[in-house]
Chains A and B, each alone.
Chain A
Amino acid sequence: MNGAHDLGGMHGLGPINPEPERKEPLFHAEWEKRALGLTLTAGWLGQWNIDISRFARERQHPVAYLSNSYYENWLAGLETLLVERDVISSEELAMGKAIDPAPKELTDKCAPASAVQDILASGGPCDFPTNDPQEFKIGDKIKVIQFNPTGHTRAPRYIRGHEGTICDYYGSFIFPDENAQGNKTGQHLYNVSFDGSQLWGDGNDTTIHVDLWQSYMEKL
Chain B
Amino acid sequence: MGHDHSHDHTDPPSDPALRVKALESLLVEKGLVDPAAIDEIIETYETKVGPRNGAKVVVRAWTDPDFKSLLLSDANKAIHSMGYTGRQGEHMKVVENTDTRHNLVVCTLCSCYPWTVLGLPPVWYKSAPYRARAVSDPKGVLAEFGTTLPKDMKISVWDSTSEMRFLVLPQRPEGTDGWTTAELEKLVTRNSMIGVEQALTPERLQARESNPTA
Chain A positions within 8 Å of B, measured between CB atoms, are 5-11, 13-19, 21-22, 24, 26-31, 33-38, 40-42, 45, 50, 54, 57, 66, 69-72, 75, 78-79, 82, 87-88, 92-98, 101-102, 106-107, 109-113, 115-117, 119-127, 154-156, 158, 168, 170, 173-174, 176, 189, 191, 193, 196, 199-200, 204-213
Contacts and interface: CB of A to CB of B under 8 A. Distances in A.
Given A111-B37, A170-B91, A154 B162 contact: yes
* Residue with the highest number of chain B CB atoms closer than 10 Å, among A113, A173, A209: A209
Contacts of B23: 38, 75, 78-79, 82, 93, 96
A156 B109 contact: yes
Contact of A96 (B22, B44, B46, B158): B22
13 contacts: A26-B46, A36-B41, A37-B41, A71-B16, A92-B30, A96-B21, A96-B23, A126-B90, A158-B108, A173-B91, A206-B154, A211-B162, A212-B162
Q: Which bracket fits the contact residues of B?
A: 35 or more
B31 A107 contact: yes
Contacts of B132: 7-11, 13
A80 to B, nearest CB: 12
Contacts of A40: 38, 41
Interface stretch (B61-69, B136-144, B174-182): B136-144
A116 B133 CA distance: 36
Interface in B199-214: 208, 212
B87 to A, nearest CB: 4
* Residue with the highest number of chain A CB atoms closer than 10 Å, among B9, B90, B132, B160: B132
Contacts of B150: none
B127 interface: yes
A84 to B, nearest CB: 15
